[in-house]
Structure 1
Amino acid sequence: MSVNYVNLDKSDNFKKLLETPVCQIKEELSSDRIKKYSASAGAGLVYNFAGKKVNNTILTLLQGLADEQQLIEKYKLLLNGDVINTGEKRMVLHHHTRGMKLDDVVSEGQDMTKFYDGEKKKIYDFAKKVHNKEILGSTGKPFDTVVQVGIGGSDLGPRAIYLALKNYNKPVLNAHFIANVDPDDANNVLSSLNFETTLFVLVSKSGTTQETLTNQKFVLNKMEKANISGLVPLKHFVSVTSATSPLAADTNYLSSFFIDNNIGGRFSSSSAVGGCILSLALGPEIFERFLSGAREADKQALNSNIFENAALLDALIGVYENNVLNMKNTAVIPYSESMSRFPAHLQQLDMESNGKSVNRFGDRVSYSTGVSIFGEPGTNSQHSFFQYIHQATSIIPVQFIGFRKPQIDADMEYQGSTSGKKLNANLVAQMTAMGVGKDDENKNKNFDGERPTSLLHADQLTPETMGAILAHFENKVMFQGFTWNINSFDQEGVQLGKLLANKVLNNQMDDVLKSYADLMI
């Protein structure tokens, strides 16, 4: 399959979009539009874009842009194992961890689907033995708690998914996460744990991540100082790492599970990075259902018709807002407390992927790429930064996420409605207010409207739905990167900070570094 990688500003359809009159939400919004402007996202998840500043003319041009930039063809090449990550000269295979592929892909002499399936089976077998009390702590007690020690993609995604699903299915093991190298983080988690019944999952693909190894040493030191008879600290650890890392060669761990260089950290939640702790905490069956939902969304993303491909449509509308309407921020607001940490995961997923200023070939681009992501759950956020969204001079598109039913069937009625109804009534009200606004002679009470919104919605936040939501945003980021002709799969901006931090710690500083260091160290 042959494709052309072309900058966005060379696209004929993009040039036409720049010349097309902007759609006015207040003029377009209607009950028919709300029913019509929806696209399936897989696994019961639906993307409604009636509140966006698009009409049939703009959508036709966005379809043309998708075809012109060959977005589906590039997705297929990614699935087939082309070297999509040009910066690091690697394939991009996170879809394969949930069984989504077109052809077999071989890397370093092994079939990658078999590799991912094999590691998943190892994790499932290990988790079942822990749950059945066949694997015990070093003092002979069963595990009741699991703690993931990792940072970035080894923390944000798995933590967000655990929190999203722990109310759906009571955890088999209670899960905690240690990420920040700030000692207060580890101390806070460890203070409430029983070391004899706690299992730690150390996650570092390279086996050399400074913060993660420091936190591991912190945990081991705490365990040793506890002076518990018979406690062997490393026999309470498993590692998730690459087969060639220093951790893989250490036989002191209870077990090791492997990941590979074809999956970036922020895309690793469906690999062993997320699979290990989620299988231990929630059970292999729940994790398998999560993967199934992600796989459904991945399949949906192959559809070339934007009206039948929510991730592609969401991506294209985002490009239109960024590059035509000059909107550089997006708020992601889940009306679900269970998804409280999901916006934090999306910050890394989106901003680390598409915060680039050169194209795939290293040439500087002349247009905006990426957006700034922020968010908190509704309704809390309504009483926080929604004032800015409603009435500030800058316009920020909002992506709402909502569910018809709560995860826990234990609601109550107050003042004529349940808590769940009040939650969704607020969601509906906010979407309407942002789109149509309110005219008032008192300008302090006037709302211009024309704030773009979209809604990802489903009946309930289930493992399948959560998998589809994760895959939707992963695929959205991928399609936007292809549209902008950038490499969404490396992260050189992370590396420079690591390099300079090591210079500070090794006392190899220039004047600027030393001056800043004098303020803090």
Structure 2
Amino acid sequence: MSELPYTSHYPNSLPIWDKLKDHQTKLKQIHLRDEFAKDPDRAKRFFKQAAGIYLDYSKNLITDETIELLSELANEAGLPEAITAMFNGEKINNSEERPALHVALRNQSSTAFEVDGENVMPEVKAALNQMERFVWSIHSAQWRGYTNKRFTDVVHLGIGGSYLGPKVVSAALKPYWKAGINLHYVANIDGTHITEELKHLSPETTLFIIASKSFGTQETIMNAKSAKAWFLRNGGEEEDVHKHFVAITANTQKAYNFGIREENIFPMWDWVGGRYSLWSTIGLPIALTIGIENFKNLLAGAHEMDEHFRTAPITENIPAILGLLGVWYSNFFNADSHAILPYDHYLRALPAHIQQLDMESNGKTVTHKGEPVEWSTGPIIWGGAGANGQHAYHQLLHQGTHFLPADFIMPLRTHNHIGDHHALLLSNCLSQSQALMQGKTLDEAKAELKAQGRTDEQIEELAPHKVIPGNRPSNTMLFEKATPKTIGALIAMYEHKVFVQGVIWSINSFDQWGVELGKELGEHIYEIITGAKETNGQDSSTKNLIDLFKQINNRI
């Protein structure tokens, strides 16, 4: 297993680690409302802009010294070297001996990106050209279904990164959808999902995309087989399958055996992880809905953020700042959770994508060397669309016992101008971050109750319930409008943030052996359920539950 220069450190053994501990002891005595009161320039100093993203990180428990110390941590942990290694195509996924070169997929320059000494850019551009030809053939109705009708619906069959990435982007860019094409996603192996999606579709006008690197992913292939059976059951013939099914896979033979023609099989590469793959041919459903030019703009926005990440000094580098703040809270404030709160209906799927991106990447208990970590790694990522959450889980953010940083995300301009809706939405977004920061003191609560005409007895009884601690950190990320370029930059920003944290924690952010174990055991249990294998060797709990399933479904 290869070793890179930046992977040999233990963060809690670095000289800067104890300095940060001492600094945190001092900082936990301060209150953010006081910091803002005494420093009118605080918001300007802790504000950065890049690739169309505006980051206000002034509502964090930080001072100028904090940023200096965190920057020193990044340097001691080898972050600059790690960034160079990633862009150079080095095998930073050391447990699988692979590069993590998703940045090559959105490369808009003449720069070569090499894997094992070979420039991959010709392959990347060829795949993009293949996508372009395919999208044109669908939009121009040159490619039609088996009854010569043009396609009206696209069903994307995938799971994990083959599903969440395309889904969040296509939803975020709904205003750019081409007329006449409806997009559907099926990921869940629960038969209800595909049943409900197919209920209102016609096999004559439906195109299926099967996205599986191995063309063997259990959930995806089961759904593909069910889709094919539905197609054949409702008028299609075996010789028509190639007109309605295409594949994105590295296993050309299996896709061909399914009935897909070779020219309709789009490539995937080992040096692109699933959760980083929306920029590749996995983005085909995005391109079909928003058009190839808008898809290229999506790549351009991500590339602009890539260049910012690659070249900007750490203290000016948005992904680096966000990653270091995450380390600051996880390792020095014991925060085990982080909320993603998009104030944009089109971005409602973003928390789920960031959840996979972050938790699958940094949910690790061993270092690059395979030794147990002695520090916290990836936090629990969760969230939902604002302002809905304000009437639900925001209560815990404001008055709960958990220390929980949050990201507020919102476009400054809307695609749908209706009265003052957007101004009210922004006011909700800003007021929530403000309330988390400043809170409400006991004296303020008492004054408020007194102004309402409450008695002294009532004030003493009710005031403690209205106290809001405040001093709870958040970032605010704004962009002018949700365009392909800004959405590309936003998602690339989070990708790089996750990488930064993995570097600091000395873990591999690009493998997912826990996921692989679940797949292996799932396949084995499926074989037991279907009678292909005996239940020998199963623990008593799993065996009893399998037997119960068989009994209820008359499989015994």
Fold shared per TM-score above 0.5: yes
Does structure 1 retain, via aligned residues, the 8 Å contact 2:404–2:472? yes
Q: Does 2:215 correspond to 1:207?
A: yes
Q: Distance in 2 between matches of 1:143 and 1:496?
A: 39
Does structure 2 retain, via aligned residues, the 8 Å contact 1:287–1:463? yes
Q: Does 2:517 correspond to 1:515?
A: no
Aligned 1:365-404 pairs, distance under 5 A: 365-404=373-412
Q: Does 2:325 correspond to 1:317?
A: yes
Structure 1 residues 2 and 178, CA gap change in structure 2 (3 angstroms): closer
2:368 maps to 360
1:380-438 CA distance string (max 9 Å, x none) = 01111001110011111110101111123x312xxxxx010110000110010000001
Structure 1 residues 56 and 239, CA gap change in structure 2 (3 angstroms): same
Structure 1 residues 520 and 398, CA gap change in structure 2 (3 angstroms): farther
1:7 maps to 10
Does structure 1 retain, via aligned residues, the 8 Å contact 2:53–2:477? yes
2:299 maps to 291
Structure 1 residues 78 and 244, CA gap change in structure 2 (3 angstroms): farther
SS at match of 2:91: coil
Q: How many residues align?
A: 513
Does structure 2 retain, via aligned residues, the 8 Å contact 1:79–1:95? yes
Q: Distance in 1 between matches of 2:211 and 2:238?
A: 26
Q: Distance in 2 between matches of 1:318 and 1:100?
A: 30
SS at match of 1:259: coil
User: How far apart are 1:41 and its partner, in Å?
Assistant: 3.4
1:199-227 CA distance string (max 9 Å, x none) = 11100001110110100011111111213
Amino acid at match of 1:402: M
2:453 maps to none
Q: Alignment partner for residue 269 of structure 2, among 255, 260, 276? A: 260
Amino acid at match of 1:131: H
Q: Does 2:441 correspond to 1:432?
A: no
Q: Alignment partner for residue 145 of structure 2, among 110, 134, 137? A: 137
Q: Distance in 1 between matches of 2:287 and 2:209?
A: 12
TM-score (norm 2): 0.89
Larger Rg: 2
Which piece of structure 1 moves more, 334-343 or 103-112? 103-112
Q: Alignment partner for residue 175 of structure 1, among 183, 189, 195? A: 183
Q: Distance in 2 between matches of 1:323 and 1:2?
A: 24
Residue segments in structure 2 that go unaligned for 5+ positions in a row: 447-462, 529-533, 551-556
Q: Distance in 2 between matches of 1:19 and 1:377?
A: 37
Does structure 2 retain, via aligned residues, the 8 Å contact 1:172–1:283? no
Q: Alignment partner for residue 524 of structure 2, among 495, 498, 503? A: 503
Aligned 1:481-500 pairs, distance under 5 A: 481-500=502-521
Does structure 1 retain, via aligned residues, the 8 Å contact 2:246–2:260? no
SS at match of 1:167: helix
Residue segments in structure 1 that go unaligned for 5+ positions in a row: 413-417
User: How far apart are 1:166 and its partner, in Å?
Assistant: 1.0
1:224 maps to 232
Structure 1 residues 25 and 68, CA gap change in structure 2 (3 angstroms): same
Structure 1 residues 490 and 244, CA gap change in structure 2 (3 angstroms): farther
2:554 maps to none
Q: Alignment partner for residue 345 of structure 1, among 353, 362, 367? A: 353
Does structure 2 retain, via aligned residues, the 8 Å contact 1:78–1:91? yes
Q: Percent identity?
A: 33
User: How far apart are 1:109 and its partner, in Å?
Assistant: 7.6
Q: Which runs of 4+ in 1 moved over 6 A?
A: none
SS at match of 1:81: coil
Greater per-residue helix proportion: 2
1:280-299 CA distance string (max 9 Å, x none) = 11100110010000000011
1:233-275 CA distance string (max 9 Å, x none) = 342011001155622666634711101111110010111111x
Does structure 1 retain, via aligned residues, the 8 Å contact 2:106–2:302? yes
1:447 maps to 468
TM-score (norm 1): 0.94
Q: Alignment partner for residue 149 of structure 1, among 132, 157, 160? A: 157
